[in-house]
Amino acid sequence: MEQALEAEGLGKRYGRTWALQDCSLQLPPGRVAALVGPNGAGKSTLLHLAVGLLKPDSGRVRVFGREPRGGPEVLDEIGFVAQDTPLYRDFTARELISLGGRLNRRWDAALARDRLSALHIPPDRPVGKLSGGQRAQVALALALAKRPRLLLLDEPVAALDPLARREFMQALMGAVAESETTVLFSSHLLAELERTCDHLIVLQTAHVQLSGSVDELLDGHRLLIGPRDAATPAGVDKVVRAAHTERQSTLLVRSRALPAPASGWTEHEVGLEDLVLAYLADAETREAETAWEVTA
Amino acid sequence: MIWLTWRQHRKEVLYTLIALAALAAILVPTGLTMHGRFEDTGLKACMDGLGTASLIPQTESAAECQRLANEFQQKYSSLAFVAVLFVILPVFVGVFFGAPLVARELEQGTHRFVWTQGVSRTRWALAKLGLIGGFALLVAVVYALGVSWWFTPLVAAVGSRMEYLAFDVQGVVPVAYTLFALALGVFTGTYWRRVLPAMGVALAGFTVVRGGIELLARPRYLAPKELTYSLLSTDQPNSASGDWIQSHGVRDGSGELIMPDARMGPCPAESACGQEIQSLGPGAHQWQLYQPGDRFWLFQGIETGIFLALTALLIVLALRRLRTLA
Amino acid sequence: MPVIEFVLDGRSRVATYMQLVLQVKQALRVGLLRPGDRLPRVREVAQSLAINPNTVHKAYRELELEGLAEGRPGVGTFVVNTLAGPSLASQGELREELVVWLGKARKAGLSREDIAALIDTTMRSDFEPPAPQDLAAPADSRGA
């Protein structure tokens, strides 16, 4: 199956620092994917590579099988909303819609107009004078008017207040339902992720820590609580995170099959947020150990 | 792209046209008066009559010419200060159009919007550069023609159009300066990424390059010519020759420069000044190093070529840099 | 105008799609939804709850698998079965009796928790073995 987004050994370097390194992932079409990780993890870099703003220093990235920098036709397939939703501040929403029509071969001006009118956004006021939430909605409407097959959003709600944030996610989810576009949006907020995304990519310190469909990820992980010093139950592929008290061990494990109920261990399902946090903390520990030259 | 460029730069365009109109409001009346007076007083006819030879015999008409020129100069030399303003105008056009072209996009992050639409960024850059460059070219040509026309009588009365200041605001070089300043602004905008620093650096860079080429390179585009003539002859330098005299003085018989920057005579041997000249010893003569006035267009061409080459280089560098920005 | 409107419990550990399924079933059980009714469109649900449309699809697919709903391409998803059954008619009467019984229980000094515990244990012993599994049981087995 042709992937909406595919990266192989993808890397980008600024000077000597790798902003993204050895990144391999696949995003099947039709998914709504969240790209999560702390600030500076490489989320923007990955999105910029995907939309062709940046050129990879290693590896490759493909959008529906084609290189994003391969030509403007590839850009026709991608809608992009950059961080802080930059728009020409002295342009009105109406002018921006007209501009989009002049810069794109495929352009659904009516779609953008209908969306903005439904949200009561004034068409003739410079967008610099709109609220942050309204501006984000204008940026989203412009990205959707391209009728993209892949929609990329860089921290679309980070700068918005809770109400505007909810309105934006409502608009986004409504648009996804209508257009069946594939979505990849970055966020450093974990709450409500479970409701909005069905695919997850976790980035930390320039590396992909976790990537896959949410259902598979949740199915493939378990929280095990058991006596300290007991042998790790059979069927566990990897212990992602372990915490110990004097008598008890709490393990977050990855397992292909459900581990057989071993004596003394109780098994719990893992929430998406806990899973993400466990992987982020694990990467952080490893990073610190490398930096301090300590062996685990 | 045309609509976008117009929509983004219409304010600058408007301000530029207003500035041009204001300039015309000053230049046209003063220029008409100057041209009228230049012809009415007979100065023009007189100077035409002197020809362009470097040396001419002392005649009444030459002396009359000198008198008329002095008169004209006294009346209008204060206007020459306006010319100083003309020297800096091209750089303003370049800096105000050039520096924000990329830097404003980067500063506001809108490059991430406009470069992810269905137009490649190279096409975006070429379209914007072409349109803005075309407009700047048009403005510069109008400006150069206007200032050249306005300045001609004053330059003719005062000295040579090859001298500093006069050379810089006439002919085709102002056009090249303008395009260079524009390219420099675009280039600094891709590196400094903010409008004000980009403008500042472009302004400083323009000053250094322009000053350097003007002071160090221009006097050497071609080897200057030497002219010597007897202090006691009846020949004198022709003020209508248009020669750019780079240095002059009095040398003695052995060729040693005994009086730098001095000009003596010519005067008859029996006069008081003739006595003084004879006291310098036999063979003392007047000497000057100069670029002949007929090299004006050649020099204009060379300087224009240099600046256009620099412009092209900066554009290429800016486009290469542009591809790496995100 | 959709017949029902979904709400989500943010603190619930129940998966989002299952919350939607359960709400439809609840509405079917009390007769709020009847065969022939159109369920809210996927887009409407996704937008109003700000949830992934794939989640709504998943919930509707689940209802289709259970034989409660049917998707008609281009038109929407419609209710084709009910969980109310014949019990709906007698529910009013049973409820009145229950209210009387609750009054008695309160008079006897039972607290809210006591009453809930009593009902719970009684139901468990009465329905054993095993407790009915609403979620998994096919709808037509309890059918009309």
A191 or B112: which carries more pLDDT confidence? Answer: B112
Position C86 scores a pLDDT of 66
Q: Which residues in chain A are contacts of B115 at CB distance < 8 A?
A: 53
CATH number given to C16-79: 1.10.10.10
* Interface present between B and C (3 or more CB pairs within 8 Å): no
pLDDT band at C88 (very low <50, low <70, confident <90, very high): low
Cβ contacts (< 8 Å) between A72 and chain B: which residues?
118-120, 123
Interface predicted TM-score of the whole assembly (ipTM), two decimals: 0.90
Cβ separation of A31 and C42 shorter than 8 Å?
Answer: no
Between positions 236 and 265 of B, the ones with CB within 8 A of A are: none
Report, as an integer, the average pLDDT of A243-249. 86
**Would you list the domain boundaries of chain B?**
2-217+296-324, 225-294
Instruction: Quickly state the pLDDT bin for A107 (edges 50, 70, 90).
Output: very high
Query: Cβ(C51)–Cβ(A176) under 8 Å?
Result: no
C143 confidence band (pLDDT: 50, 70, 90): very low
Domain extents in chain C: 16-79, 88-129
Hey, of B1, B112, B126, which one would you mutate to test binding to chain A, going by the most A CBs within 10 A of its CB?
Answer: B112
Which tokens belong to B16?
């530029």
- Burial string for A161-198 (b: 16+ CB within 10 Å, else e) reads eeebbbbbbbbbbbbbbbbebbbbbbbeebebbbbbbb
pLDDT bracket for residue C10 (50, 70, 90): confident
CB nearest to A195's CB, from C13, C44, C52: C52
The per-residue pLDDT for C131 is 44
The pLDDT of residue A66: 94
Q: B25 falls in which pLDDT band (50, 70, 90)?
A: very high
For range B288-316, the mean pLDDT: 95
Instruction: Give the whole-angstrom CA distance, residue C64 versus residue B251.
Output: 112
Residue C144 pLDDT exceeds 60: no
A5-213 belongs to which homologous superfamily?
A: P-loop containing nucleotide triphosphate hydrolases (3.40.50.300)
The pLDDT, as a whole number, for residue C142 is 40
Cβ atoms A127, A98 nearer than 8 A: no
Span C109-135, mean pLDDT? 76
Q: How far apart are the CA of B6 and the nearest CA of chain A, in angstroms? A: 12
At B35, which amino acid appears?
H
Strands A78-81 and A5-14: unpaired
C56 touches chain A (CB under 8 A): yes
Nearest to A53 among B1, B7, B116 (CB): B116
Flag whether residue A149 sits within 8 Å of chain B, measured between CB atoms. Answer: no
Contact B126/A at CB under 8 A: no
Mean pLDDT rounded to a whole number for chain A:
90
**For residue A151, what are the β-bridge partners?**
A79, A183
Q: Determine whether the interchain pair A30/C54 forms a contact, defined as Cβ–Cβ distance below 8 Å.
A: yes
Whole-Å CA distances, A223 to A257, A267, B61: 14, 6, 111
Which chains would you list as touching B if contact means 3+ CB atom pairs under 8 Å?
A
Kind and range of the H or E element at B319? helix B296-322
**C59-68 average pLDDT score:** 94
| Closest Cβ–Cβ partner in A32, A166, A169 for C54 | A32
List, for residues A121-144, the tens digit of each pLDDT value: 999 999 999 999 999 999 999 999
Residue B267 in tokens: 């005067």
For residue C136, pLDDT beyond 50: no
Q: What percent of chain C has pLDDT over 70?
A: 83
Mean pLDDT of chain C: 82
Record the pTM.
0.84
pLDDT digits (tens, 9 = 90+) for B184-224: 999 999 999 999 999 999 999 999 999 999 999 999 999 99
Omega before B266 within 30 of 0, i.e. cis: yes
Beta strands in B239-316 (DSSP E): 244-251, 257-260, 285-291
Query: What is the structure's pLDDT at A261?
Result: 61
Is C129 or A289 the better-scoring residue by pLDDT? A289
CB A123 within 8 A of CB A157: no
**Residue A197, strand partner residues:** none
Read off the pLDDT of each residue in A223-245 and give the average, rounded to a whole number: 82
Chain A positions touching chain C (beta carbons under 8 Å): 30-32, 166, 169-174, 176-178, 192, 194-198, 271
